[in-house]
Amino acid sequence: MSEISQDKSFSTPEKRSKTLIPYAMLCELTHRCPLACPYCSNPVQLELKSNEISTDLWKKALSDAVKIGILQAHFSGGEPTARKDLEELVSHASKIGLYTNLITSGVLINEDRLKKLYDAGLDHVQVSIQDTDPENSEKIAGFKGHQKKITTCGLIRKVGLPLTINSVMHRQNLHNLKDMINLAVQLDAERLEVAQVQYYGWALKNQTAFLPTRKQLDDATIIVEEARKKYKGILAIDYVVPDYYAKKPKSCMGGWGRQFLNITPAGKVLPCHAAESLDFLNFENLKEKSLAWIWEHSESFNRFRGTDWMPEPCRSCDRREIDWGGCRCQAFALTGNADAADPTCEFSPYRKVLDEPLSKAGNKTPEFVYRKF
Amino acid sequence: MNKLTKLELSHIPKLPRHAKLRFDEARKKWIINAPERVFELDEIAAEVMQLVNGNISINSIVDSLHNKFKEASREQISKDVIIMLQSLADKGFIVSE
Ligand code: SF4
Ligand code: SF4
């Protein structure tokens, strides 16, 4: 048995020479969202409701996804429950054999709708919680909804849906990690995902407000290890040391265009949810091209696929088919060169663009810059 | 549904609702879909998992496999099945009725 996953990304056990078979798709149904997280990973330029694609086009995309081998559909946003056809899409996806996951902030949903989603065949729900301390939680989310989230989690379990708590942990909430773990157990979640802020898009504007200190991370690692032992078989905890303090980058989504694709509210198909930050690339739209064609032939999916595009130091590195050169979006955002090795890599000549903010991580924490839609 | 920390032969294992077994045509393999994870099963794991249905005990699973694969000793099969299921149970992917 091989488990092909490490946290967010899947890693391929054997290299496939012919057409790659993707595993998962992220369906960003809408960019509309009542929250305003300062680390939001959506593009800085959001799609308007009037540009959102139709129910029928979403259904077609899901059906085409199954044909090219996709196993899982993650419904996300923005806030996916802001779309009224969510139940219909989940039901369609489930009928054609996709594993369905709802990624939500939990503030717009009630018991009745959760029941409908359950009946539609929803397999799993992931709720984001910004912090255990309500005040800080609401400060981070830029929205008063902490209690509502907790209530929603209870309702999710009540209707019988499995629950993952996703918490982006950073400088301003890592001290509550233990409480977060306890909260997840209390809420009867199966999993807790301790996510890290990725620095591109909006988050880059708040970099120094989020960067944890080395000490915070060392403490966090110990807490996670202990909790994993204590709650073995009860709560699974996903946690990875963030890029910034690692010496080698992580593989991005299992490699560009290898296992994953992302569909935006307007129907663009991207190799990763942040790919539009690579503003020199042209991304195809489902209104014009089929999903299979885009996956296999589009310029954007092939641009960083495999290893041919790599310059040194990646080209001759023996990790090139392990991390695939790391994150393209982060490389571009931090170095201005999308072909560069991920700057988190110790072999990257740009490593200093990270070490510099890190050296300031002990200083005073600046205020957040919030996004407004 | 009970979460399991240590599996025993008398337990009746099943997949929790968030994990789903199915045959994938594109890959020609049995897989388990789970949150943010896909388990690709090798032949033996696929044989075991097709018997995990919330109706029969691990003991009976071992019996059935022993009937099917006579070359292996019952003891060996029993050991392998427990190890495989325990690794899934540790991650919360095997529960009991
Ligand atoms: S040089 Fe490139 S391939 Fe090698 S570890 Fe660094 S990012 Fe990965
Ligand atoms: S390229 Fe970077 S931003 Fe995009 S998915 Fe990969 S790691 Fe994330």
Is the pLDDT at A152 greater than 50? The verdict is: yes
Instruction: Name the β-bridge partners of A263.
Output: A27, A269
Q: Give the angle A226-A4-A278 at the CA atoms, nearest 5°.
A: 100
In a mutational test of the B interface, the residue from A25, A74, A99, A260 whose CB has the highest number of chain B CBs within 10 Å is A99
pLDDT interval class at A57 (50, 70, 90): very high
Round to whole Å and give the CA distance between B90 and B83.
11
Show residues of chain A in contact with B2, CB under 8 Å.
none
Q: How many CB pairs under 8 A join A and B?
A: 82
For the segment A68-98, what is each residue's pLDDT rounded down to a tens digit? 999 999 999 888 998 999 999 999 999 999 9
Task: Name the region of A142 (left: φ>0; alpha: ψ -120 to 50; beta: rest).
Answer: left
Q: How far does the centroid of ligand 1 lie from the alpha carbon of residue A312, in Å?
A: 9
The 3-class SS string of chain B reads CEECCCCCCCCCEECCCCCEEEEECCCCEEEEEECCEEEECCHHHHHHHHHCCCCCCHHHHHHHHHHHCCCCCHHHHHHHHHHHHHHHHHCCCCEEC
Q: Would you kindly state where each structural domain of chain B is located, as residue ranges?
A: 13-92
- To the nearest whole Å, the CA of A118 is away from the closest chain B CA by 11
Asked if the Cβ–Cβ distance from A233 to B4 is below 8 Å, we say yes
What is the predicted pLDDT for the residue at A115? 95
What is the predicted pLDDT for the residue at A243? 64
Is the pLDDT at A5 greater than 60? The verdict is: no
pLDDT interval class at A205 (50, 70, 90): low
Phi/psi of residue A195, nearest 5 degrees: -95, 160
Round to whole Å and give the CA distance between A283 and A299.
8
State the average pLDDT for chain A.
83
Interface of B with A in 53-92 (CB under 8 A): 84, 87, 89-92
How many whole angstroms from its chain centre is CA A202? 14
Is the pLDDT at A45 greater than 60? The verdict is: no
State the average pLDDT for chain B.
88
The crossing angle, in degrees rounded to 10, of helices A134-141 and A146-158 is: 100
Do A301 and A272 meet the contact criterion of CB atoms below 8 Å apart?
Answer: no
Interface TM-score (ipTM) > 0.90: no
User: Is the pTM higher than 0.90?
Assistant: no
Round to whole Å and give the CA distance between A199 and A211.
10
Instruction: Give the amino acid at A336.
Output: G
The atom of ligand 1 lying closest to the CA of A313 is 1
Residue to mutate, A11, A251, A317, ligand 1, most ligand atoms under 8 Å from C-beta: A317
What is the predicted pLDDT for the residue at B36? 78
For the segment A160-173, what is each residue's pLDDT rounded down to a tens digit? 999 999 988 787 78
The percent of residues in chain A predicted with pLDDT above 70, rounded, is 79
Q: In chain A, which ranges are E strands?
A: 2-3, 24-28, 72-76, 99-104, 124-128, 163-168, 191-195, 236-239, 260-263, 269-270
Round to whole Å and give the CA distance between A294 and A246.
34
Round to whole Å and give the CA distance between A207 and B67.
61
For the segment B18-61, what is each residue's pLDDT rounded down to a tens digit? 889 999 988 999 999 988 789 999 988 999 999 999 999 999 99
- List all residues 6 or more positions away from A285 whose beta carbon is below 8 Å from its beta carbon: A266, A267, A268, A269
For the segment A275-310, what is each residue's pLDDT rounded down to a tens digit? 998 999 999 999 999 999 999 999 999 999 999 999
The percent of residues in chain B predicted with pLDDT above 70, rounded, is 95
Hey, whose CA ends up nearest to atom 2 of ligand 2?
A: A327
What is the predicted pLDDT for the residue at A252? 80
Q: Which CATH number fits domain B13-92: 1.10.1060.10, 1.10.10.1150, 1.10.287.610, 2.120.10.60?
A: 1.10.10.1150
